[in-house]
Amino acid sequence: MSGKQRVNGVIVAIDGPSGAGKSSLTKLLAARLGYVHIDTGAMFRAVALMARRSGIACEDDPALAELCQRLEIRFQREGEICRVLANGEDVSTAIRSEEIGLLTSCISARKPVRDALLAMQRKMGEEGGVILEGRDIGTVVFPDAEVKFFLSASAEERGRRRWKELTERGETVSLQETIEKVICRDRQDESREHAPLRKAEDAIVIDSTSLSIEQVLEVMERTVREKVAAN
Ligand code: DC
C-alpha cells in the first residue's frame, strides 16, 4: 500500500481530553521516532496568556483576531526541553498555570483564534515527520494524517494525574476539586461550536486508565513504524 508522500515522513495526530497523557506520550514517541513534537495546546495557551496580559475579554473576537495577527509562536528545542516562544519571549512556564488553562478553554473556542492557529499548525506540519497533539488534529487540522490516535482515560484518573502534577509543583489543591475541573474542561471542549473535541472515525482509540506509559508507547511506536514501512 502506498500513501501520500511527504518530505520528512508521516503525520501523526494525537487527540484526546486533558490529562489523557498526550503530552508525555507525544514527547517520548517523538524522541523515539526522531519526529518533531508540536503541542497545539501550548499554542492556544500562549494566545490566552497574551490576551490576558492585554486585557482582552474572551468574547472579544475582533481584538483576538488582531492579537493573533501580531503573534508569532515558535517552539525551541534545547535537548530534552522544548520551550514555547511567543513573540520571542519564553512563556513555557507562564502558560501552565490553572488560571491560564481555564481561560484557554474559553479562548480556544473562538473562531478567529482557531482559524489563525489552524493556518500556523498546517504550515508547521505539512512536510511530515511530525506528531501533533491537540483536540482536533485528526478531524480538522490534518484529516489526512497517516496515523491518528485518540487517547482517553477516566475523568477520575485524569484528575488524579493532574492533581499529582500540581502537588509536585508545590500548588495546594484538593483532589476532588481537580477532578471537577477536568470534567468541566471536558464539557467545554466537547460542546463548543468550532472544532469540538471529537474522535476521528479512523482514529485508533487507546484507553490509558490502567496502562503504563511504556505499554501505551509501545503500541503507538509499533503502529507508526508499520505505517511508515507500508507507505
Ligand atoms: O492540551 P492542553 O491542556 O494544553 O490544552 C489547553 C486548552 O486548549 C484546552 O482547553 C483545549 C484547547 N485546545 C484546543 O481547543 N485545540 C487543540 N488543538 C489543543 C488544545
Please work out, in degrees rounded to the nearest 5, the angle formed at the alpha carbon of residue 153 by the alpha carbons of 148 and 158.
Answer: 120
Q: What DSSP designation does 95 have?
A: G
Question: Atom 15 (ligand 1): residue with closest C-alpha?
Answer: 108
Predicted pLDDT at 103:
93
Predicted pLDDT at 135:
92
The structural domains of the chain, ordered by start, are 9-35+130-231 (3.40.50.300), 38-128 (3.40.50.300)
Q: What is the pTM of this model?
A: 0.90
Q: What is the dihedral of CA 119, 124, 125, 127, to 10 degrees?
A: 120
Q: How far apart are CA 172 and CA 177, in angstroms?
A: 11
CA of 201 to the centre of ligand 1 (A): 20
Q: How far apart are CA 223 and CA 113, in angstroms?
A: 32
Q: Ligand 1 within 6 A of 121 CB?
A: no
Instruction: Evaluate the CA torsion angle 179, 192, 190, 17 in order and state its sign.
Output: negative
- Ligand 1: atom nearest CA of 44 is 8
Q: Ligand 1 within 6 A of 18 CB?
A: yes
Report residue 112 CA to chain centroid gap. Answer: 18
Q: Ligand 1 within 6 A of 133 CB?
A: no
Containing 229, the helix (H) or strand (E) segment is helix 213-230
- Ligand 1: atom nearest CA of 104 is 7
- Ligand 1: atom nearest CA of 101 is 6
- The rounded average pLDDT for each run of 10 residues, N- to C-terminus, in the chain (231 residues) is 75 93 92 94 97 97 98 89 94 92 91 96 95 95 97 94 89 93 86 84 94 94 93 79
Containing 58, the helix (H) or strand (E) segment is none
Cell of 29: 514517541
Please work out, in degrees rounded to the nearest 5, the angle formed at the alpha carbon of residue 75 by the alpha carbons of 69 and 77.
Answer: 165
Predicted pLDDT at 77:
84
Predicted pLDDT at 3:
61
